[in-house]
Chains A and B, each alone.
Chain A
Amino acid sequence: MIRRPALPPETLIPAVVLAVVLIAFLCTPLISGKALTTFDVYNTFQGLAQLGLLTLGLGVTMIAGEFDLSVVGTYALGGMIAVRTGQSSAILGVVLAVAAGATIGAVQGGLIARLRIPSLPVTLATYIALLGLTSAMSGGLSVTYTNTGATLWIDRHFASIFSTPSLVTLAGFVIAAAIFGGTRLGRGVRAIGGDRRASRVAGVRVERTLVGLFTVSGTLAALGGALYSYSYAAANPNPGLQPLILAAVGCLVGGVSLAGGRGVPIGLLAGALSVALLGQIDAITAIPDYYTELLYAALLGVIVAVDAPGLRRGIDRLRARTATTRIQDRRP
């Protein structure tokens, strides 16, 4: 007797989480006593822009069964390069930041794919090195972005709820969703995450795909960092682990499994949006920080339980045992 859930977890988890968070967001006036405005929605999308590209980059590597911890380092470096080189021309800064991110991602991806090294230690080393590089570039201090024209331009409101960074972020998700849904690549990436050897036998170009994925994650992280530091008119040499942790939460509530082989870009978008909404709920209701921390802990705790094979085995065994006793009970 095998019962299958009506929806696969990669759809179910993000759908449920997003629905719950959205309802909570719509209920915030009950606590704050003020009606929601379009500015709250705008801020939510700003939050999405802050973490969305990072989530997408981390997410695509997680779908392939890897974990790119260095994204938060690339994020910091991208912001720093953009601010340092983009004082006169914002576009030049973004281009250089993205080029650096892509290079770092490609080198890492090459090492991980060709030598078949686990990605966690390699990307951890890269993360430490990149933080050092960013800090060395700025003398360890925050660097101000003086090009106010660019900052104003970047935070223009579109349709009163979007800005350039949030539109770029959404575009990134749409493109990723199109590629994952419309080409063989999406299935290939999931296959690599599910069973690498089998996917290689089945003809998936594992090495090339992995290098591509790490290049994408580096590029997206650097782009996200550049847009963020333009928007805040400053680059922070050490954003800490918090952006990475929140992006990982976004991925996990977006239906991606750390074991790999599961997840779609739209789920990642739902996950990132949920995290952004939670941040905005925080800001509107001014509830103490630890509520959010405990909420994240509970959310991840549920995901851990859903994803733990040992727990599932234990439940199956228990169910089998009760079924046997029931049959034995029925005997005269």
Chain B
Amino acid sequence: MTAANNDHSPVMAAARDYPGGQASADTVRPTPTSAAGAAGRFLLWRGTDPLDIGIVIVVLAVIVTGALTTRFFSVANARAILASTSWVGITAIGATVVMIAGSAVSLAVSQTATVVAMIFLATQQFGLAAAIVLALLSGVAITALQGAVIGFWTANPIVLTIAAGFAIGGVATWISGGTTVYPQVVRFNGLNDTPLGLPLAVYILLALTAAAQWFLRRTTAGRHMYLIGENPRAARAAGVPVGRVTVIAWAIFGACIALTGVFLAAFNTSANAGLGGTLSLDAIAAVLAGGTAIGGGKGSALRTLGGALLISAISDLLLLRGFSTGIQLLVKGLLVGFVVIAVHVSSTRGRR
């Protein structure tokens, strides 16, 4: 897998917020012979992905509309966008790792985050550090267990995570008696701090993105994940421990979900069955909007951060311009669909 970005234009180079490594089909391009091709070469757009063009158009549209909107380009609004990205973003980074490793998606995220939040609040009396460790451990254990079933038994991730969602939700209601969980003592106020005017979760998100990016690009397990996502059979034949690597991917996902759960708990100071909300789908939407392919083998943590930020920025822009939540959702869906199609077309060009 080589770095295969042929940046012919400075605009494009600047627009690529992701470094190489994307196993793209744009390494080999038929030389354009038509007049349009010549014109394209003249414009230095030859060999550019439709995906990149699309992303540039969307980003430019946001910038232009933003410039025409009062208060969009302000420090306070930038903070608001970053803050609203942080919770979903943290989970989405974990979801990226799992999607790259070929396990597609999890539909049990909301329930897992809810349970972790409950555990975090119920263990406050042991101290903040202990509560965080317990929350992370439970998130990792619950999610890695699903990863083990998927990795070692090649179970279908969608069916399995639907089942896991029922099981986690059921057990949580059973133990909590279906009531809201309140902490005995509050030790988590520090998590709601805003150093330099940004919520702590934003720093965690940025650190996680950097860590995940490094992990996926520079470690053996990370490289194995791309291989498994690209072609599980080839990975198995090449001696990659598919089961173990899949479990690692899901364990990372579990830790990310748990972090989101901890921040949700600290922010809401109590947890009920509905706390997780639409986290499952929001996270998938962020990953897809970043251009990670659902089939696995392609994508990066940085792209997901970009996708999550783009969704937040567009929602924020629509909000500032007075559009309803419905319109914000509609545009988000259209954006995700657009990116999914563009990613697919650009990665299969030449193959079809």
The smallest C-beta distance from A305 to any residue of chain B, in angstroms, reads 8
The smallest C-beta distance from B277 to any residue of chain A, in angstroms, reads 10
Which among B29-37, B198-206, B334-342 touches the partner chain?
A: B334-342
The smallest C-beta distance from B185 to any residue of chain A, in angstroms, reads 28
- Beta-carbon contact of A307 and B336 below 8 Å: no
- Beta-carbon contact of B163 and A301 below 8 Å: yes
- Beta-carbon contact of A129 and B333 below 8 Å: yes
A136, B332: Cα distance in complex, Å: 13
- Beta-carbon contact of B162 and A248 below 8 Å: yes
Task: State which residues 114-167 of B face A: CB under 8 Å.
Answer: 149, 152-156, 158-160, 162-167
- The majority secondary structure among interface residues of chain B is helix
Is A49 an interface position by the 8 A CB rule? no
Given A140-B326, A310-B154, A314-B153, are A129 and B337 neighbors across the interface (CB < 8 Å)?
yes
- Beta-carbon contact of A237 and B352 below 8 Å: no
Over the window 204-246 of chain B, the binary record of Cβ atoms lying under 8 Å from chain A Cβ atoms (1 yes, 0 no) is 0000000000000000000000000000000000000000000
When distances are taken between beta carbons in the complex, the residues of chain A under 8 Å from B166 are 245, 293-294, 296-297, 300
- Beta-carbon contact of A135 and B325 below 8 Å: yes
Is A117 an interface position by the 8 A CB rule? yes
A117, B285: Cα distance in complex, Å: 16
Task: State which residues 259-308 of A face B: CB under 8 Å.
Answer: 259, 288-294, 296-297, 299-301, 303-305, 307-308
When distances are taken between beta carbons in the complex, the residues of chain B under 8 Å from A300 are 159-160, 162-163, 166
Task: State which residues 255-289 of B face A: CB under 8 Å.
Answer: 280-281, 284-285, 288
A304, B155: Cα distance in complex, Å: 6
The contact of A308 among B153, B167, B171, by CB within 8 Å, is B153
- Beta-carbon contact of A136 and B334 below 8 Å: no
Is A124 an interface position by the 8 A CB rule? yes
Is B174 an interface position by the 8 A CB rule? yes
- Beta-carbon contact of B284 and A135 below 8 Å: no
Is A181 an interface position by the 8 A CB rule? no
The smallest C-beta distance from B196 to any residue of chain A, in angstroms, reads 33
Given A131-B329, A293-B169, are A308 and B164 neighbors across the interface (CB < 8 Å)?
no
When distances are taken between beta carbons in the complex, the residues of chain B under 8 Å from A299 are 163
Is B104 an interface position by the 8 A CB rule? yes
Is B80 an interface position by the 8 A CB rule? no
A299, B163: Cα distance in complex, Å: 8
Over the window 315-345 of chain B, the binary record of Cβ atoms lying under 8 Å from chain A Cβ atoms (1 yes, 0 no) is 0000000001111111111101110110011
B287: nearest chain-A partner, CB-CB: A121
Number of A-B contacts (CB under 8 A): 170
A294, B174: Cα distance in complex, Å: 10
Is A46 an interface position by the 8 A CB rule? no
When distances are taken between beta carbons in the complex, the residues of chain B under 8 Å from A120 are 104-105, 158, 294
The smallest C-beta distance from B231 to any residue of chain A, in angstroms, reads 15
- Beta-carbon contact of A297 and B333 below 8 Å: no
The contact of B326 among A136, A294, A310, by CB within 8 Å, is A136
When distances are taken between beta carbons in the complex, the residues of chain A under 8 Å from B152 are 310, 314
Is B183 an interface position by the 8 A CB rule? no
A122, B155: Cα distance in complex, Å: 23
A129, B107: Cα distance in complex, Å: 19
When distances are taken between beta carbons in the complex, the residues of chain A under 8 Å from B348 are 116
- Beta-carbon contact of B170 and A290 below 8 Å: yes
> In the complex, how many residues of chain A place their beta carbon closer than 8 angstroms to a beta carbon of chain B?
55
A131: nearest chain-B partner, CB-CB: B329
Is A167 an interface position by the 8 A CB rule? no
- Beta-carbon contact of B167 and A140 below 8 Å: no
- Beta-carbon contact of A128 and B156 below 8 Å: no
- Beta-carbon contact of B163 and A290 below 8 Å: no
- Beta-carbon contact of A128 and B326 below 8 Å: no
When distances are taken between beta carbons in the complex, the residues of chain B under 8 Å from A305 are 153, 155
When distances are taken between beta carbons in the complex, the residues of chain B under 8 Å from A132 are 325-333
Is B178 an interface position by the 8 A CB rule? yes
When distances are taken between beta carbons in the complex, the residues of chain B under 8 Å from A67 are 158
Is B21 an interface position by the 8 A CB rule? no
A258, B154: Cα distance in complex, Å: 13
Is A215 an interface position by the 8 A CB rule? no
A76, B159: Cα distance in complex, Å: 23
The contact of A296 among B163, B281, B340, B344, by CB within 8 Å, is B163
- Beta-carbon contact of A131 and B333 below 8 Å: yes
Over the window 171-197 of chain B, the binary record of Cβ atoms lying under 8 Å from chain A Cβ atoms (1 yes, 0 no) is 101100010000000000000000000
A128, B338: Cα distance in complex, Å: 13
> Which one of B178, B295, B327, B344 has the greatest number of beta carbons of chain A within 10 Å?
B344
Is A8 an interface position by the 8 A CB rule? no
When distances are taken between beta carbons in the complex, the residues of chain B under 8 Å from A241 are 107, 280-281
When distances are taken between beta carbons in the complex, the residues of chain B under 8 Å from A139 are 324, 326
The smallest C-beta distance from B274 to any residue of chain A, in angstroms, reads 10
- Beta-carbon contact of B326 and A258 below 8 Å: no
- Beta-carbon contact of A245 and B337 below 8 Å: no
B329: nearest chain-A partner, CB-CB: A132
A312: nearest chain-B partner, CB-CB: B153
Over the window 162-179 of chain A, the binary record of Cβ atoms lying under 8 Å from chain B Cβ atoms (1 yes, 0 no) is 000000000000000000
Given A122-B341, A288-B178, A307-B156, are A128 and B167 neighbors across the interface (CB < 8 Å)?
no
The smallest C-beta distance from A250 to any residue of chain B, in angstroms, reads 12
Is A92 an interface position by the 8 A CB rule? no
A140, B162: Cα distance in complex, Å: 27
The smallest C-beta distance from B227 to any residue of chain A, in angstroms, reads 18
A-B contact pairs, 16 of them (CB 8 A): A116-B348, A116-B352, A124-B288, A128-B336, A129-B333, A130-B333, A131-B333, A132-B330, A135-B324, A245-B162, A258-B156, A290-B173, A296-B166, A297-B163, A308-B156, A314-B153
Q: Which residues does A use to contact B, with CB under 8 Å? A: 67, 111, 115-118, 120-122, 124-140, 237, 241, 245, 248-249, 252, 258-259, 288-294, 296-297, 299-301, 303-305, 307-311, 314
